Amino acid sequence: MRSRWFHPPELYTAHSELGRRVGWLELFYDLIFVASFIQLGNALSGRLTLIGMLGFVALFTPLWIVWTGFTHFVNRFDVDDFLHRSVVYCQMFAVGAMAVTVQPALRGDIKPFACAFAAAQCCLFLLFLRGAFHQSEARVLSKYWMLIWLFATVLWLVSLVLSAPWAYLACAGGIALVAAARLSRHARSLEKRFPMNFEHLSERFGLMTIIVLGESFVKVLTVLADAEPTREAFAHASLALIMTCALWWIYFDSIAESRLKPQAFAYAGWLYGHLPLHGGMIVVGVALQKVAYWDLWVPGKETYRWLICGALAVTLFATALVELVTLRKSAERSRRWRILFRVGSAFLMLGLPVFATQLISVQLLLLVALLCLAQVGFDMIMAPMD
């Protein structure tokens, strides 16, 4: 029996005797990111320009970094007392503040967003500080990440007193610090000394993938709920469902149950490959919302052609990157052909807005849907046996 008020964190590793599964607090924690990604997608939807897209990337990355930071902490430590939950709730409030400040951030006022992100990072600092204080066995691991999150928090707080472009550079420096920290030689030596539970991480990232894929359903059904129940509306919904189901299929058949290759930077490739993969899936949802307004019998707006094809291309490129560093036990042929097929399909996606300008909307959407279904068909050919 453990005290619900307070108990020291227990260390998890891949070799621990402690069982490891996704906890209820982790699932509850994910809900604030559901709302955050909806807000971020809505902000992008109203600002479909190159600057708007760069702003989306700049704001999505900190949200994703916070989520991965918490996910890595709970992968390492078993703790669920009053103090832990209180810190996690504080971080959820900070993430919520990040969500409601994305609109002014896209307009150039980054200080509210930076303040919220600094608070979210500070919560991660406190979690690892507690780990360093109570868990002597892994103190060197906790101290490393405690300092990383502390320095990153300071950089974002410094950005509050700077003017552009120095404020942007300070924010970028904080993100770069966290991203590079996992690639350092010291971090890789710590991973060997305290191996992560990859099965738990794979499950967590799979759940996040379902969350970002769900954005597509939310946005398309929101549009169609306000429209007349016509054949065109049914066609839009069907094509959107086909694309979303195909993305789910290739992720959960090709990536979700894979093992990492025994290479130095395999985990880094797996981890950071999920950043464009998740971001691309969110943009796919925004794009499907936009094309739901298309007249199927005339050529669609060029901006939206590029949006849907570009988002799907980024998703396929990212899928190929993750597959490059993983091994799938059920594949009967070389994984190289899967990767080449993903990359080739991504380039075909990018070519559609250029070479298919005269196609009416329904023809373009059918081609896009067929390219997505081709991923499923190729996967079945490569691994016909489960």
pLDDT digits (tens, 9 = 90+) for 327-341: 876 555 567 888 899
pLDDT of residue 3: 75
- pLDDT tens per residue, range 239-272: 888 899 999 999 998 888 788 888 878 899 999 9
Percent of the chain with pLDDT over 70: 94
pLDDT of residue 20: 67
pTM reported for the whole predicted model: 0.92
198-382 CATH, one of 2.40.50, 1.20.1410, 1.10.10, 3.30.1490: 1.20.1410
pLDDT of residue 240: 84
pLDDT of residue 214: 87
Give the mean pLDDT of the chain: 87
Q: What average pLDDT does the segment 114-125 reach?
A: 96
Residue 21 predicted with pLDDT over 60: yes
* Other CB atoms within 10 A of residue 95 CB: 24
Residue 29 sits at the vertex; the CA angle it makes with 32 and 147, to the nearest 5 degrees, is: 105
Residue 143 predicted with pLDDT over 80: yes
pLDDT of residue 14: 57
Cα-only R_g, the chain: 22
- pLDDT tens per residue, range 147-185: 999 999 999 999 999 888 899 999 999 999 999 999 999
Give the pLDDT band (50/70/90) at residue 234: confident
Domain positions in the chain are 22-193, 198-382
pLDDT of residue 280: 95
pLDDT of residue 334: 63
Give the pLDDT band (50/70/90) at residue 362: confident
Rounded Cα distance, 25 and 85, in Å: 8
Residue 304 predicted with pLDDT over 60: yes
Rounded Cα distance, 347 and 265, in Å: 26
pLDDT of residue 292: 77
pLDDT of residue 342: 93
pLDDT of residue 356: 79
Rounded Cα distance, 377 and 22, in Å: 31
Residue 24 predicted with pLDDT over 80: yes
- Contacts made by residues 235-242, CB under 8 angstroms, sequence distance 24+: 235/296, 235/362, 236/291, 236/292, 236/294, 236/296, 237/292, 239/365, 239/366, 239/368, 239/369, 240/216, 240/288, 240/292, 242/369, 242/372, 242/373
pLDDT of residue 276: 96
Rounded Cα distance, 193 and 248, in Å: 34
Q: What average pLDDT does the segment 294-303 reach?
A: 82
More confident residue, 293 or 166: 166
